[in-house]
Structure 1
């Protein structure tokens, strides 16, 4: 109803006109007929969410949007045939399910989720653009740039896909374990390994070898996906938190069964472990310690990818192995339930909707992930603070002495590069510890707020 216009009371004639316009708009909305997006691809989604799920691939004018939704939502969408109104489609759906679903809840679901996401379209609306967001979609990568296109990735991945036959996977796992026992039990134990002994040239070579290992890692994901029939894969570069990363678009893997998706998740480590064997072989053949440093450095990178709290291989592996949809969201809900029980507060409105098996997996994942985070903080402090930071002031003084003595340009450039490399390590360590500490403080504050009684207020 329109009574006041522009902060001033309108004339009766104006008010009548506005009411008529409002009613005509309502009539147009009632007359609008929606139908299920004909260009949306719907397939079964293998999960353990406790209820059947479907994967909906919605065209969005560029990269399609993929959503895992309850199968009953798709059943609701199919009631929209372009002839029924919204309310008629809802009543047809409720005729199938009885009083299980509330009408007002279904209306909100349609208007706030299904329709804006392009799963429902109106007459005259382009189905290919219906799912295009009005704002750019947020990504967990701050920067996301494609580097190697599908025209190059797909042929190479198809050729290397044979490396994911079961006997080769088992042999690779055994070689991975044996090489680590030998490196850390024999080689590292028998000689002192100190990253501060690396000069500028060694650091550049180490970075080059690490980059080659990372490229192998990404082609491992692509080759595993290609082995199961996926296509149109892209490898790119991005920034995640404070780290530069490579990524591989294997979105078609969402159509695969869970076990196959899990193999795609570990495909990168499978290929990178082969690169580790190459580094070990070069070290044994040449005696050059840089290859041993590369083995350890790349190994640390592999361990970091299995951090289940970051959106890396470990995160997706847990999600796919146990069929937990929206792993981060489900974990947060689980922590909220645990916090409410800890302080004796009423249970939260939202709770995890998982099967008992998936719930147990999520609990174990959360506990192990918390222990892993504590270990990572200890490792960062030991390596970055105790090793690099302790020697950094002496390196700065040495560099200043070089400047005063008029050392040649190449020597100064090498020293500056060594300082920069270690400064980046210290910065990444500081940011990581700060983010983890801030997250822990926020969690503790929420738990304390649950225990704090609310002051009575007059109504």
Structure 2
């Protein structure tokens, strides 16, 4: 999510000047959605959607200016209207400054020639090698079909059934026996892997259904590499227009649909006794635990972000680290608090999150890089062994073994492909930073 937030002292620069006959306007297709509800900022934030679907947060002054840019009023007229709404006077040149230096670079407004290249969100820890599985129109149809699962009575019944199934599953000894049976049979193993993939896709349907239930419009479901993991994803950017409860429903929708899937698998096992069904139900619990991690952009991250009221936690890592570094300097604490502009409780939670996530990510990346030669060697030997097994299975017509070993080999190498994308992105940013530093010195 691209943020339009800048230090208040820059945004509220007031320059008294002469009237200009140019008429600034909003870009075509821009949506003004009003105040971002449940935000933890000390002053409100307002939400707009660009035509490309990018959500942008603005301060009150920038949003107020943007609402008056209809293409029919001059800079002087816009300045009069904004001054009437705002508690400080602003001149035509002040409006020009805000349009040209703030709104135009964000792709929200134009004054004269339109911006050739609009900035897009490009976080370091973002999806790479992504592709669309289900287009937005299909996802919205799926979301409408599954939205009734979010009815309170259905949620209560599902969670109650899940609790009863889990008590039986983990106390009866059936789960361990089912896993042993599944692992020892290639065909059953293939079914189990297939069920886990279906569970992951159903998880994404939960996000889409939660988004739709709250009144927003979900986008496409796709697949990509996140850091070093292959993942499915759902575009639920439109959920930003919802209140906090609606956003949390969207965040929790995937985990809730995992619970629904466990209930379905458990009931199917009780009916049929087919071991892979129960084995998959046990393993889906692991998916839920993984999704609750708040350190990466998984469900846990978005749950924390919406509980606190800060939509982009990763965007605050830099300001918070810089603020902590200069905290002991004179006036540094107050300047830092004004810059991040968060309420005290939210600021403490975000600081705690930053202090957790930095060593976690740095340590994980360091281990992977330091151990990469060893891990890649193991992966290479395992690939050779699996290829031999595939050749033998092909000779004997063992289709299940061929598919299992091929899938396992693919999963073995995808993390290293993801690491390669991540390192390439880091190198690209370092080169850009170096070029900017050289240009500033000239």
TM, length-normalised to structure 1 = 0.67
Counterpart selection for 1:44 from 35, 51, 65:
35
Shift of 1:209: 0.9
Shift of 1:261: 0.9
Shift of 1:256: 1.0
What's the secondary structure of 2:173's corresponding residue? Answer: helix
Alignment map for 1:282-297 (pairs within 5 Å):
282-297=268-283
Structure 1 pair 70/399, CA: closer, same or farther in 2 (3 Å)?
closer
What's the secondary structure of 2:48's corresponding residue? Answer: strand
What's the secondary structure of 1:326's corresponding residue? Answer: coil
Larger radius of gyration: 1
Shift of 1:66: 2.1
CA contact (8 A) 1:305 1:312 kept: yes
Shift of 1:200: 4.1
CA contact (8 A) 1:119 1:131 kept: no
Gap runs ≥5 in structure 1:
1-28, 381-388, 440-459
Structure 1 pair 396/107, CA: closer, same or farther in 2 (3 Å)?
same
Where does residue 372 of structure 2 map in the other structure? none
CA contact (8 A) 1:238 1:246 kept: yes
Where does residue 361 of structure 1 map in the other structure? 349
Where does residue 239 of structure 1 map in the other structure? 224
Query: CA–CA distance in 2 between the matches of 1:292 and 1:102?
Result: 69
Query: CA–CA distance in 1 between the matches of 2:331 and 2:413?
Result: 40
1:111 and 2:100 aligned: yes
Counterpart selection for 1:33 from 17, 20, 23:
23
Gap runs ≥5 in structure 2:
1-18, 369-376, 426-442
Shift of 1:263: 0.6
Q: Deviations over 1:271-309 (max 9, x none)?
A: 221111222233344444322331233332232222223
Where does residue 49 of structure 2 map in the other structure? 57
Q: Deviations over 1:332-370 (max 9, x none)?
A: 432343355599996797942211122233234445657
Shift of 1:266: 0.8
1:164 and 2:150 aligned: yes
CA contact (8 A) 1:396 1:419 kept: no
Q: Deviations over 1:376-408 (max 9, x none)?
A: 99xx9xxxxxxxx989968955865896xx775
CA contact (8 A) 2:40 2:346 kept: yes
Alignment map for 1:50-449 (pairs within 5 Å):
50-58=42-50, 60=51, 63-78=52-67, 80=69, 82=71, 86=75, 93=82, 109-122=98-111, 133-134=117-118, 138=122, 140-187=126-173, 191=177, 193=179, 197-198=183-184, 200-231=186-217, 233-241=218-226, 242-341=228-327, 351-366=339-354, 400=388, 409-410=395-396, 417-427=403-413
What's the secondary structure of 1:56's corresponding residue? Answer: strand
Q: Deviations over 1:216-260 (max 9, x none)?
A: 2222222222222234x3442220324443333333322110111
Q: CA RMSD in A?
A: 5.0
Structure 1 pair 66/432, CA: closer, same or farther in 2 (3 Å)?
closer
Query: CA–CA distance in 2 between the matches of 1:111 and 1:390?
Result: 55
Query: CA–CA distance in 2 between the matches of 1:371 and 1:285?
Result: 47
Structure 1 pair 253/418, CA: closer, same or farther in 2 (3 Å)?
closer
CA contact (8 A) 1:199 1:418 kept: no
What's the secondary structure of 1:142's corresponding residue? Answer: strand
Query: CA–CA distance in 2 between the matches of 1:177 and 1:375?
Result: 36
Shift of 1:83: 6.8
TM, length-normalised to structure 2 = 0.69
More moved, 316-325 vs 238-247:
238-247
Shift of 1:121: 3.0
Count of residue correspondences:
399
What's the secondary structure of 1:220's corresponding residue? Answer: helix
